[in-house]
Amino acid sequence: MKIFLLILLVQTLVVLLTLSHLDAAVEYGNQHRPKKTYIIHMDKSNKPAVFADHVNWYESSLKSVSESAKMLYTYNNVLHGFSTRITEDEAHLLKNQPGVLSVIPETREELHTTRTPDFFGLEKSYSLLPASDKVSDIVIGVLDTGVWPEIESYNDKGLGPVPRSWKGKCESGKNFNSSSCNRKLIGARFFSKGYEEESGKIDEKVESKSPIDDNGHGTHTSTTAAGSSVSKASFLGFASGKARGMAPTARVASYKVCWLGGCFGSDIIAAVDAAIEDGVHIISKSFGGSYPGRYHSDTTAIAAFAATARGILVSASGGNNGPSTTTVTNIAPWMTTVGAGTIDRDFPAYVKLGNGKTYKGVSLYKGKQLSDKVLVPIIHGGSASNDTDEGNFCVPGSLIPEKVNGKIVICIQGRTGKVQAGLVVKDAGGVGMVYTREHQSTGEELSAAPYLLPAAAVSLEKGTEIRTYVDSVPNPTATIIQGTTVLGVQPSPIVASFSSRGPNLRTRRILKPDIIAPGVNILAGWTGAVGPSGLARDKRRVSFNIISGTSMSCPHVSGIAALLKAAHPKWSPAAIRSALMTTAYSTYKNGKTIEDVVTASAATPFDFGAGHVDPVAALDPGLVYDTTVEDYKDFLCALHYTPEQIKTVTNTNFTCNASKVYNVEDLNYPSFAIPLLAEIDDFGAVTNVTRTVTYTRTLTNVGTPATYRASVSKVDVVKILVKPKSLSFKKAYEKKSYTVTFIANNMEWGSERFGRLEWSDGKHIVGSPIAFTWT
């Protein structure tokens, strides 16, 4: 599973390795052919009249290719059809049966806050927020690892009865009693059939076949979105204060689809199918695949389309594969894709060396501290090991106790997770750890971890200086001093190094990610099933934990979307996303562009999309770029998807109009991505061609009557023309269109330029990022 969560990354890797093992142990069916799970999408309008109902029809179609196969799930909302486990040959036969629209192979995805309300200015802006009783009508469906209901963050004090429209349920099972639900946690379900087909029956000694959260991730994300207010929250004394989710009176419905072995497409579709039926308003999804497939084979894109078509906003994490470019995932244009930034809070730990120098790192260590006056020897892991390489990475069992005893050990990131590496050092008798990197700078180290010995994670640059010191003197010494929580860190936010970046791999003309939100060192609720590090040996139990990832930024946006939905119940998911994006900020108060931690200089829309979410401004955006389900279908026509592929995504009987011209440029998106062809002449020189492209957009007035004027930033090699230059809206919900023409000079391959288009009536600024690439 790619829960987009950093701390657990290494454990997750271990799980993945184990799992690919399982994959390799191919299961043989009757015909000695390996079986796989497939999602079968049936064309509902083609059901022959002889079948009493759809399920009979599905069963009959399946029986015609396989006597023994059983349906895992039948689907009614996301698509009409079912999932089943059959051989590849049977899948081919099934594909050719009448009424079978598509046969999609199973996919596996992986799992990719107290101070944040203050950080947003939400505490000070209560009067601007929708009344809490309106917010309590909103249900956020969280697809994740389940929920740990016993913590204070799920208290339902002051909440009225469950909304009458709610049709969901609270399922019981191992370690989870259906009476655990209350007026806050109003639904809890689990979906494991696809997972169990792939990985074998769940071993209930290892994980619970119930909505209970054995991992912590789902408890963290759901309480970030909508955790109730807890006045004395902290993680081991760090980040102490009031903790609450973004929409503290919204309701939570938990859909457990992520297991030790990952999050499977057939389960995800079943969960969204149920969430639609249950009546959720927002879906939050903090996991994804590492490589986004085409929309008709991407189970998340298909499920999200069905949800969007019913007015449910789907917010998803963009992934933790940054800072490499073109890594962003969960990119369908009907989803809201969220990257991660920092907040103004830090958990410093200082490495003091024998040469008098001190380096700031980060750590969440709570326990017996080292002396800040008496320095102890510091060594490379590799110099205390029979295998230098393994020792440097502090691989379990690689350190020789006699050589480590009483010392601080330097461990390199790459093969052992942060907390785990610390345990390896501790087990060998070490008294402290400096954790650093060897290659590829990612800028200042930011993600703090709950170590079990004094430790500090430092950047590549600082780590290199510390390692050079260790090599340069005969008896190097050091100590590590844990600091306390630091608030008011500036500049903030900055884009996190791990946050996945654009451009959009699938559709270059749609900018992704859409937005960033807090995703570094976020405090939120935690499970009682495992300790804060997730390691089996970590016996600590906490009801709050501090973790990092786009997994953490996504539920911030989900919760804020719930506030917007409560304030504006009629707004479509696209209108809500537009409000979030056009009011996001991409500069600090001093006018400088938001930084990227990796470069310590200006980030770009490929890093932060429209910018950092601003919930208060989003409530009153003035204008929105609304997008209908029909627009998304037109978008698929523009991509030349076949009629069957379009039906697979949209679950509707839609065909492109052969005499109509469809353009991706015309999808009414609140941002602009303009990929241009870079051309060179026979001698390899950049030729001086100019290229002109025009994008059309339509704005809807969601404020009072007003006249808006366009302004664009200056881009050296592109002329940007907006027509008309001003738009007058006489009434609410009036729509006005404009075109924006980009006249671009030819540039070298790989060049990028960025700009911004703003519409303003003097009161609102409706801003859109523009990103040019020459490819």
Ligand X SMILES: *[C@@H]1O[C@H](CO)[C@@H](O)[C@H](O)[C@H]1NC(C)=O
Pick from 131, 517, 119, 610: which is nearest to 316 by CA?
A: 517
Cis previous bond, 450, omega within 30: no
How many C-beta atoms surround the C-beta of residue 25 within 10 A?
Answer: 7
The answer to whether the CB of 626 falls within 8 A of the CB of 575 is yes
Please confirm, yes or no, whether 551 is among the known catalytic residues: yes
The CB-of-187 to ligand X minimum distance in angstroms stands at 17
How far is 391 from 430, CA to CA, in rounded Å?
13
The CB-of-659 to ligand X minimum distance in angstroms stands at 4
> What are the strands, taking DSSP E only, across 13-125?
35-42, 71-75, 81-87, 100-105, 108-109
- For ligand X, which is the closer residue by CB, 289 or 381? 381
- For ligand X, which is the closer residue by CB, 51 or 588? 51
Please confirm, yes or no, whether 666 is among the known catalytic residues: no
Residue 756: CB partners within 8 Å, gap ≥ 6?
Answer: 586, 712, 713, 767, 768, 769, 770
Question: What strand order describes the sheet that includes 108-109?
Answer: 108-109, 262-264, 258-259
- For ligand X, which is the closer residue by CB, 400 or 639? 400
Residue 482 parent element (H or E): strand 477-482
From first CA to last CA, the distance across the chain in angstroms is 33
The CB-of-688 to ligand X minimum distance in angstroms stands at 4
SS3 for 612? strand
Which of 297, 317, 551, 768 is catalytic? The answer is 551
The answer to whether the CB of 393 falls within 8 A of the CB of 414 is yes
- For ligand X, which is the closer residue by CB, 388 or 694? 388
- For ligand X, which is the closer residue by CB, 339 or 381? 381
- For ligand X, which is the closer residue by CB, 468 or 659? 659
- For ligand X, which is the closer residue by CB, 189 or 281? 189
> CA angle at residue 56 from 55 to 59, to 5 degrees?
85
Please confirm, yes or no, whether 217 is among the known catalytic residues: yes
Q: Residues in the site for ligand X, rule: CB under 6 A?
A: 45, 177, 179, 386, 400, 653, 655, 657, 659-660, 687-688
- For ligand X, which is the closer residue by CB, 291 or 749? 749
How far is 741 from 417, CA to CA, in rounded Å?
49
How far is 225 from 174, CA to CA, in rounded Å?
26
Integer-rounded Cα Rg, in Å, for the chain is 27
> What does the DSSP 8-state code read for residue 309?
H
How far is 575 from 307, CA to CA, in rounded Å?
15
> What are the strands, taking DSSP E only, across 204-281?
230-235, 238-243, 251-256, 258-259, 262-264
Which of 43, 144, 213, 267 is catalytic? The answer is 144
Which of 217, 281, 296, 612 is catalytic? The answer is 217
User: CA dist 696 to 736, 737, 741, Å?
Assistant: 11, 7, 9
The answer to whether the CB of 351 falls within 8 A of the CB of 444 is no
Sort strands 108-109 and 262-264 into parallel, antiparallel or unpaired: antiparallel
Pick from 654, 494, 549: which is nearest to 9 by CA?
A: 549
Hey, what amino acid is at 650?
T
Hey, what amino acid is at 366?
K
How far is 9 from 550, CA to CA, in rounded Å?
13
Q: Which residues pair with 457 in a beta bridge?
A: 362, 435
Pick from 641, 690, 691: which is nearest to 664 by CA?
A: 641
- For ligand X, which is the closer residue by CB, 181 or 542? 181
CB-based burial label for 655 (10 Å; 0-12, 13-18, 19+): exposed
- For ligand X, which is the closer residue by CB, 391 or 573? 391
Hey, what amino acid is at 164?
R
User: CA dist 208 to 99, 211, 447, Å?
Assistant: 38, 8, 29
The CB-of-390 to ligand X minimum distance in angstroms stands at 9
Pick from 256, 250, 111: which is nearest to 170 by CA?
A: 256
- For ligand X, which is the closer residue by CB, 67 or 682? 682
How far is 580 from 574, CA to CA, in rounded Å?
10
The CB-of-687 to ligand X minimum distance in angstroms stands at 5
26: tokens are 């191919």
The length of the chain in residues reads 775
- For ligand X, which is the closer residue by CB, 30 or 653? 653
The catalytic residues are 144, 217, 551
